[in-house]
């Protein structure tokens, strides 16, 4: 028997309501109930960072958050990292330009982590800061170097998202 | 008068589908769902060695949502794998912890998993055989009845007379190296979706790297006509060789779909991925090597014992690649190589980026440094003295048609300031010490003729808007092949990159290709695409010449425009030429095709012959800092020089090298799949450590362009190379910093500290 809970939250700018089992993870709700594909299930244990989303602007592993915990909160996923004309926002655009993407499975998580970091810290970032922020995002293809380059470049740009 | 036109080749092009991947629009296996789709789960053995006395599925069958439960008795269960010693489900004997005992299809993954837990299996324990020594001991139980000695495969190679080489040696070094289990850790876990249509035809969404061989193998396992199998590859979240084999979960999924008459999906959990996906082959390698008083290599002898685990996958054939390094990395007149691949009750290995070459290069490059020490030569000088040149043929018959080996040795060491740093780091004392070390590698760079053909087909279609579609046999597993192939096509055809699309995901329409292995895609599929583009270009030029009534030789095509060759003056657009062909009386399409077969040969029974159309070289120099008390080794810088023949996509090359170095660093310093008593003890990222962003050193990359005559625009393969020689470079650097030679990996802080402590006492 599972207890169902009604929650209200904002998802990528849309105000939504949902009725979810109390034990359902935010990741399961986003992927299965709202058909989002950017938060990816890499481990389900908060170790790989592929499911990173922003809750109230903070990067969090959606697999470790219960859906009911986002009641009243603002949730953002990589799907919203676009400008109004549909083009990519500064961080994902920089990741693409720098060649940071190979298989890309980890990339939405990295884009979200970096976006949260850039919103919190104004001005150009140090590489060490970026590396530390990305510590929880595993990537097996790229060696991280180009992602760090990209985020550093994005932090120098005027318009950030 | 000649006009200079800019070339796409060598420029930096972001991966064509990168935007889709970064924003979450790319659809991976996890994202696939079909109407009425069920979810499959597999019950695996809970012990590494046993007889199966009985399986009772009755309690599972009646559970909510359960649509089918199958065991070996319910399916044809044909044997498969490189040694034909594996079956989809196991009915009689458990040979390793991964063994698939039963499978459930249910409405939800949770229901399927719950039902698996209700299946009761009666086992009769058999004492597990957990080491290759135990497996080869006299009187040891045969893990497979048809291999009484527990030896799955043996390899023998030699050239020259090793005894003669020994007698000519002034210095001989010998050591035994132990390499353990590591695993791919693809961020996207393994999965498959199988769906039958009303006529019994199967569509399978697979992550395979080898869709055409896969179709053939799968057909044989499940008893279908290969023509009735359509293989579609969704976006693949990393492969690195792990998807070269077919695995039991795939035919199991097909059988579940057959039984339920509904689409079925199987998706691994991360824990299952660690336990039940392949590993790199653990190896014990005894090797001796000699040189004369002047540092000329005289001989090399190697005896390898590889732990095959319970079954023989393609990974068991890695000695085939290992022997190339023992025979041909540097000029060695006398070589003997023997390898035994031994069955145990451990998890079985598969193919993994580098395919045995990490283990082989670790051995050879460690001993080269030891030899340099004995002779009293700088390790760089000893390597340069023995490095091959263009035009040489190695003892194994490998023809060095282009060779940037010397440039790799010189380029990497110049970037690393080798001489200066070696001097600076001489005789380090104290708690924190620095050192510098180097290592090289040789790998196939022009495919590898393992199958009867090493070819790839391409179809090029131009439509009346001038859109160019390359339909290639080559698969994309994240390595960026579609971008390199699009660049080659655009360059050869004379169109803008933006108009080229690549179709590479559906066996129904793609021409044949061996698959993604042996770093072959840029070389083989690149040549194939180039041939198809050349044919299309010729057709367009001929048609344009006819239209404007001028000789073809006076025309050229650039950026989608037919131009006057001499002046660059606009003649007409390519779409206009195409339309003129489509809409004339005798209408014609601009669709061309090509099949490229490299000029390599299959090796003979003595493993001799020019197996690849060209070979890739690399040298990496590592600079490290070692904390003698904590054992923590920090890599400060890797200077990597890679002979890529010719750069096609600079960004792609850089990405491959950086990623390969990260993988090589993990192999050296942190990664080990702990297999104890036949069980995987650390099936999660918390306990199995891959490199993270803060671990990455400065990387200086030198791309050496040796311009291979056969390669597309001169290019050769790069994919595997970057991971291959990172480990020996780091280990040689640690030796130079601390005086301690590590012959086993990984050097975790615990292992490092323990050894350094011994030295201090």
Q: Are strands B229-232 and B202-206 parallel, antiparallel or unpaired?
A: parallel
* Angle between helices A107-120 and A145-156 in degrees, nearest 10: 30
**What is the spatial distance between Cα B695 and Cα B264, in angstroms, rounded to a whole number?**
40
CA B74 and chain centroid, separation = 35
Residue A161 pLDDT > 70: no
The CATH code of domain B32-127+189-236+243-276 reads 3.90.1170.50
**What is the spatial distance between Cα B285 and Cα B302, in angstroms, rounded to a whole number?**
7
DSSP 8-state assignment for residue A25? B
% residues pLDDT > 70 (chain B): 99
Closest partner CB to A99 (pick from B30, B654, B699): B654
What integer pLDDT is reported at residue A123 of this predicted model?
86
List chain A residues with CB under 8 Å of B26: 37, 104
Cβ-based neighbours of B83, under 8 Å, separated by 6 or more: B152, B153, B311, B312, B316
Residue B367 pLDDT > 90: yes
A135/B270 touch (CB, cutoff 8 Å), yes or no:
no
B478/A104 touch (CB, cutoff 8 Å), yes or no:
yes
Neighbours of B512 (CB within 10 A): 15
Residues across chain A: 161
The superfamily (CATH) of domain A4-80 is Beta-grasp domain (3.10.20.30)
Tell me which chain B residue has its CA closest to the CA of residue A52.
Answer: B24
Which spans in B168-317 are helix H? 211-222, 249-260, 270-276
Residue B494 pLDDT > 50: yes
**What is the spatial distance between Cα B240 and Cα B185, in angstroms, rounded to a whole number?**
9
Yes or no: say if B270 and A42 are a contact pair by the CB < 8 Å rule: yes
Q: What is the mean pLDDT of chain A?
A: 95
**What is the spatial distance between Cα B398 and Cα B443, in angstroms, rounded to a whole number?**
11
pLDDT tens profile A50-63: 999 999 999 999 99
B189 in reach of chain A (CB within 8 A)? yes
B237 in reach of chain A (CB within 8 A)? yes
What integer pLDDT is reported at residue B584 of this predicted model?
81
User: Hey, where are the domains in chain B?
Assistant: 18-25+455-596, 32-127+189-236+243-276, 283-448+603-760
Yes or no: say if B603 and B399 are a contact pair by the CB < 8 Å rule: no
For B103-125, what is the mean pLDDT?
98
DSSP 8-state assignment for residue B114? H
Residue A157 pLDDT > 90: no
**What is the spatial distance between Cα B520 and Cα B615, in angstroms, rounded to a whole number?**
11
For B617-636, what is the mean pLDDT?
98
Q: What are phi and psi of B602, to 5 degrees?
A: -70, 140
Scanning B461-500 for CB atoms below 8 A from A yields: 477-480
Closest partner CB to B14 (pick from A40, A99, A132): A99
Residue B1 pLDDT > 50: no
B546 in reach of chain A (CB within 8 A)? no
B699 in reach of chain A (CB within 8 A)? yes
CA A127 and chain centroid, separation = 20
Secondary structure (DSSP) of B383-399: HHHH---TT-B-TT--B
Mind telling me how many Å the CA of B692 is from chain A's nearest CA? Answer: 6
List chain A residues with CB under 8 Å of B651: 98-99, 146
Closest partner CB to A143 (pick from B15, B189, B659): B659
Q: What's the order of all strands across the beta sheet hosting B38-44?
A: B66-71, B100-106, B38-44, B264-267, B191-196, B202-206, B229-232
Yes or no: say if B369 and B742 are a contact pair by the CB < 8 Å rule: no
* Domain B18-25+455-596 class, CATH top level: alpha beta
Which spans in B644-738 are helix H? 650-669, 721-724, 726-738
Tell me which chain B residue has its CA closest to the CA of residue A133.
Answer: B693
Yes or no: say if B642 and B723 are a contact pair by the CB < 8 Å rule: no
pLDDT tens profile B532-573: 999 999 999 999 999 999 999 999 999 999 999 999 999 999
Tell me which chain A residue has its CA closest to the CA of residue B656.
Answer: A142
Which of B17, B22, B277, B484 is the best residue to mutate to test the A interface, defined by the most A CB atoms within 10 Å of its own CB?
Answer: B22
The CATH code of domain A90-156 reads 1.10.150.120
Q: What are phi and psi of B510, to 5 degrees?
A: -85, 145
DSSP 8-state assignment for residue B178? E
Sign of the four-CA dihedral B124, B673, B118, B32 = negative
Residue B190 pLDDT > 70: yes
For A40-57, what is the mean pLDDT?
97
Secondary structure (DSSP) of B190-205: PEEEEEE-TTS-EEEE
Q: Which tokens is B499 given?
A: 């108009």
By three-state DSSP, how is residue B681 classified?
coil
Per-residue 3-state assignment (H helix, E strand, C coil) for B563-588? EECCCCCEEEEHHHHHHHHHCCCCCC
User: Hey, where are the domains in chain A?
Assistant: 4-80, 90-156
What integer pLDDT is reported at residue B2 of this predicted model?
52
What integer pLDDT is reported at residue A158 of this predicted model?
58
What integer pLDDT is reported at residue A96 of this predicted model?
98
A140/B238 touch (CB, cutoff 8 Å), yes or no:
yes
For B606-634, what is the mean pLDDT?
98
% residues pLDDT > 90 (chain B): 97
By three-state DSSP, how is residue B674 classified?
coil
DSSP 8-state assignment for residue B445? -
pLDDT tens profile B408-445: 999 999 999 999 999 999 988 899 999 999 999 999 99
pLDDT tens profile B117-172: 999 999 999 999 999 999 999 999 999 999 999 999 999 999 999 999 999 999 99
List chain B residues with CB under 8 Å of A145: 658, 696, 699
Which of B29, B184, B187, B638 is the best residue to mutate to test the A interface, defined by the most A CB atoms within 10 Å of its own CB?
Answer: B187
pLDDT tens profile A15-33: 999 999 999 999 999 999 9
B14/A141 touch (CB, cutoff 8 Å), yes or no:
no
Window from B92-96, B146-150, B755-759 with minimum mean pLDDT: B755-759
List chain B residues with CB under 8 Å of A106: 187
What integer pLDDT is reported at residue B726 of this predicted model?
98
ipTM: 0.97
Residue B515 pLDDT > 60: yes
**What is the spatial distance between Cα B688 and Cα B672, in angstroms, rounded to a whole number?**
7
Q: What is the mean pLDDT of chain B?
A: 97
| B18-25+455-596 and B283-448+603-760 share one fold | yes
Angle in degrees, CA A67, A68, A69, rounded to 5: 90
What integer pLDDT is reported at residue A1 of this predicted model?
56
Q: What are phi and psi of B54, to 5 degrees?
A: -175, 150
Question: Any idea which fold B283-448+603-760 has?
Answer: Aldehyde Oxidoreductase; domain 4 (3.30.365)
**What is the spatial distance between Cα B433 and Cα B422, in angstroms, rounded to a whole number?**
13
B22/A107 touch (CB, cutoff 8 Å), yes or no:
yes
Rg (chain A; Cα; Å)? 16
């Amino acid at each position: 028997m599972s207890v169902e809970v009604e929650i209200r939250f904002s998802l990528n700018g849309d105000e939504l309501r949902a009725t979810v089992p109390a034990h359902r993870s935010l990741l399961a709700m986003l992927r299965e109930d709202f058909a989002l594909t950017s938060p990816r299930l890499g481990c389900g244990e908060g170790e790989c960072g592929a499911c990173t989303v922003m809750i109230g602007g903070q990067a969090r592993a959606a697999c470790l958050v219960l859906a009911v915990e986002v009641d009243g909160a603002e949730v953002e996923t990589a799907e919203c990292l676009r400008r109004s004309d549909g083009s990519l926002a500064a961080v994902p655009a920089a990741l693409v330009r720098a060649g940071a993407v190979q298989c890309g499975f980890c990339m939405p998580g990295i884009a979200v982590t970096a976006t949260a970091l850039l919103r919190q810290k104004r001005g150009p970032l140090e590489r060490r800061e970026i590396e530390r922020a990305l510590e929880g995002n595993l990537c097996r293809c790229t060696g991280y170097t180009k992602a760090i380059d990209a985020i550093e470049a994005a932090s120098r740009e005027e318009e950030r998202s | 008068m000649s006009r200079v036109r800019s070339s796409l080749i060598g420029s930096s092009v972001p991966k064509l589908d990168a935007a889709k991947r970064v924003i979450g629009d790319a659809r991976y296996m996890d994202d696939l769902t079909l109407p009425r789709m069920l979810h499959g789960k597999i019950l695996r053995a809970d012990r590494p060695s046993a007889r199966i006395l009985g399986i009772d599925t009755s309690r599972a069958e009646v559970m909510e949502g359960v649509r089918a439960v199958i065991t070996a008795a319910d399916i044809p269960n044909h044997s498969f794998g490189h040694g034909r010693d594996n079956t989809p489900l196991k009915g009689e004997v458990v040979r390793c912890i991964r063994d698939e005992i039963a499978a459930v299809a249910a409405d939800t993954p949770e229901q399927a998993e719950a039902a698996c837990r209700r299946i009761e299996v009666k086992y009769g324990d058999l004492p597990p055989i957990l080491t290759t020594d135990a497996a080869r001991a006299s009187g040891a139980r045969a893990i497979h009845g048809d291999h009484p000695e527990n030896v799955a495969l043996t390899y023998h190679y030699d050239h020259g007379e090793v005894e003669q080489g020994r007698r000519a040696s002034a210095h001989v070094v010998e050591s035994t190296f132990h390499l353990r289990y590591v695993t791919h850790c693809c961020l996207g876990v393994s999965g498959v979706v199988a769906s039958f249509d009303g006529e019994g035809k199967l569509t399978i969404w697979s992550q395979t790297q080898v869709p055409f061989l896969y179709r053939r193998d799968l057909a044989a396992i499940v008893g279908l006509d290969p023509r009735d199998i359509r293989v579609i590859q969704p976006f693949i979240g990393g492969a690195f060789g792990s998807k070269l084999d077919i695995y039991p979960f795939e035919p199991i999924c097909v059988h579940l779909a057959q039984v339920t008459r509904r689409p079925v999906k199987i998706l691994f959990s991360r824990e299952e991925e660690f336990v039940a996906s392949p590993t790199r082959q653990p190896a014990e390698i005894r090797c001796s090597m000699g040189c004369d008083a002047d540092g000329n290599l005289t001989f090399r002898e190697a005896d390898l014992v590889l732990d095959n685990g319970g079954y023989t996958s393609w990974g068991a054939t890695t000695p085939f690649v290992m022997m190339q390094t023992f025979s041909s990395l540097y000029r060695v007149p006398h070589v003997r190589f023997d390898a035994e691949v031994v069955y145990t009750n451990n998890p079985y290995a598969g193919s993994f980026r580098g395919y045995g070459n990490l283990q082989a290069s670790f051995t050879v490059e460690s001993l080269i440094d030891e030899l340099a020490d004995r002779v009293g030569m700088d390790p760089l000088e000893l390597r340069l003295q023995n490095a091959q040149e263009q035009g040489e043929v190695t003892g194994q018959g490998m023809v060095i048609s282009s060779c940037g080996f010397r440039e790799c040795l010189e380029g990497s060491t110049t970037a690393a300031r080798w001489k200066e740093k070696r001097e600076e780091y001489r005789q380090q004392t104290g708690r924190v010490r620095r050192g510098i070390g180097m290592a090289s590698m040789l790998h196939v760079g022009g495919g590898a003729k393992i199958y009867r053909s090493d070819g790839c087909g391409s179809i090029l279609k131009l439509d009346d808007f001038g859109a160019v579609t390359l339909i290639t046999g080559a698969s994309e597993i994240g390595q960026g092949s579609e971008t390199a192939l699009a660049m080659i096509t655009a360059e050869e055809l004379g169109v803008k990159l933006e108009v080229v699309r690549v179709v590479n995901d559906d066996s129904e329409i793609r021409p044949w290709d061996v698959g993604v292995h042996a770093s072959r895609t840029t070389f083989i599929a690149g040549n194939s695409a180039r041939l198809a583009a050349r044919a299309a270009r010729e057709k367009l030029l001929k048609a344009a010449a006819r239209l404007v009534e001028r000789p073809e030789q006076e025309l050229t095509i650039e950026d989608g425009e037919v131009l006057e060759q001499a002046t660059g003056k606009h003649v007409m657009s390519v779409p206009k030429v195409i339309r003129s062909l489509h809409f004339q009386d005798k209408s014609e399409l601009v669709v061309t095709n090509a099949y490229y077969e490299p000029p390599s040969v299959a090796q003979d029974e003595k493993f001799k012959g020019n197996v690849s159309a060209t070979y890739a070289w690399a040298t990496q120099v590592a600079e490290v800092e070692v904390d003698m008390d904590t054992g923590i080794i920090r890599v400060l810088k890797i200077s990597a020089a890679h002979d890529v023949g010719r750069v096609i996509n600079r960004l792609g090359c850089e990405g491959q090298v950086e990623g390969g170095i990260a993988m090589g660093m993990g192999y050296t310093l942190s990664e080990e799949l702990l297999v104890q008593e036949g069980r995987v003890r650390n099936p999660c990222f918390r306990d199995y450590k891959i490199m993270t962003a803060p671990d990455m050193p400065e990387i200086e990359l030198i791309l050496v362009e040796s311009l291979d005559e056969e390669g597309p625009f001169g290019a050769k393969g790069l994919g595997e190379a970057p991971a291959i020689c990172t480990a020996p470079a780091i280990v040689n650097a640690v030796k130079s910093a601390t005086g301690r030679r590590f012959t086993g990996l990984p050097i975790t802080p615990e292992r490092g500290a323990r050894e350094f402590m011994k030295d201090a006492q």
